[in-house]
């Protein structure tokens, strides 16, 4: 495993982060989830990402239980706040002071820790003044409940405004957590340049396009049993749908010789591709079985040469979504 600094901070994180969206507390049984976390630890992963909304708080509890007994100082634990949780009452979502301060306490209790290393705004909240949100995050940091703050799926302008307020309040906004992979590149034109300027790193989710870039989905073939595309319960089927077009699947098929030439699995090639961007501090990977963790970790330390990156662009570059306007948050708080 290799480690990278997160933004212009002194915090180092593993360049592969284990995340439990769509799996823990919903898609897989708790004992398998624990095996996946332990496989991540055995592989050298020290950074773990979750959110209160995942499986309506159950994912945080599963992760906390799986990490119990580990030396806390050797781990970096991240969580997020914004989406509805609990009984989904009128104050159970968003980035109000009330919801943030109540949510961090619930997250810490479920995770079994006194603090998280990074507390992230899961989306931008148009219904709460940004000043209120950032003051609440600053108070969470001053209370020692979080060491740093970050955002997820914010636009470049939103990141700039949040960073300026955080700086005025004396706290460090050091990360952005966007979707990013060979097929989804909406952060490249605006978010990444702004982040470089401000000293913010990306922790990217869905580096293998929710499994599509593994090559297991094929044109005209039935969906593999037990795959994310068949997960109606946890929401995986809906989230992966946009990638399952014949044109995209054919393009992914043409990536296989590139991976083979490098001696990499398709998943390793995909993860190595996002890590080739110098503004990416870590790639978030999830798993429904320990073997997937082990495979993904094989991307750690892989350096893709410029000619390889060019070959990849020739195959799938024209298929990638690049419009920065695709980075959006709900106009109103979800309930």
Tell me which residue of 258, 252, 292, 298 sits closest to 275, measured CA to CA: 298
H/E element, 260: helix 256-262
Distance CA 176, CA 135 (A): 18
| CA 218/CA 146 separation, integer angstroms | 43
Angle between helical axes of 130-142 and 97-111 (0-180°, round to 10): 40
Q: Which of 54, 148, 217, 243 is catalytic?
A: 54
DSSP 227-279: SGGG-TTTSHHHHHGGG-SHHHHHHHHTTHHHHHHHT--HHHHHHHHHHTSTT
CA separation for the pair 231, 240 (Å, rounded) = 10
54 carries an active-site annotation: yes
Cross-strand bridge partners of residue 28: 24
Active site residues: 54
């Amino acid at each position: 495993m290799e480690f990278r600094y997160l933004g212009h901070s002194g915090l180092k994180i593993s360049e592969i982060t284990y995340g439990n969206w769509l799996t823990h507390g919903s898609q897989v049984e708790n004992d398998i989830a624990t095996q996946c976390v332990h496989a991540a630890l055995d592989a050298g992963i020290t950074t773990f990402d979750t959110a209160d909304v995942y499986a309506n708080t159950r994912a945080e509890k599963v992760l906390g239980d799986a990490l119990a007994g580990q030396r806390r100082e050797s781990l970096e634990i991240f969580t997020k706040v914004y989406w509805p949780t609990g009984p989904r009452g009128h104050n159970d979502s968003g980035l109000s002071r009330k919801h943030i301060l109540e949510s961090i306490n619930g997250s810490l209790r479920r995770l079994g820790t006194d603090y998280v290393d990074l507390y992230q705004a899961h989306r931008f909240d148009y219904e709460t003044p940004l000043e209120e949100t950032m003051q609440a995050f600053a108070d969470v940091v001053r209370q020692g409940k979080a060491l740093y703050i970050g955002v997820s799926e914010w636009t470049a302008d939103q990141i700039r405004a949040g960073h300026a307020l955080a700086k005025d309040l004396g706290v460090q906004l050091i990360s952005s957590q966007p979707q990013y992979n060979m097929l989804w590149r909406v952060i490249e034109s605006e978010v990444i340049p702004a982040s470089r300027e401000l000293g913010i790193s990306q922790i990217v989710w869905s580096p293998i396009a929710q499994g599509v870039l593994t090559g297991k989905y094929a044109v005209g073939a039935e969906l593999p049993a037990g795959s994310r595309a068949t997960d109606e319960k946890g929401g995986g089927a809906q989230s992966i749908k946009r990638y399952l077009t014949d044109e995209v699947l054919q393009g992914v098929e043409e990536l296989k010789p590139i991976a083979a030439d490098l001696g990499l699995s398709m998943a390793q090639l995909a993860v190595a591709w996002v890590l080739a961007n110098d503004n990416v501090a870590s790639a978030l990977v999830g798993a429904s079985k320990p073997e997937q963790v082990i495979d993904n970790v094989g991307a750690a330390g892989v350096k893709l040469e410029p000619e390889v990156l060019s070959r990849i662009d020739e195959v799938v570059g024209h298929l990638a979504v690049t419009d920065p306007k695709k980075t959006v948050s709900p106009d109103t708080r979800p309930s």
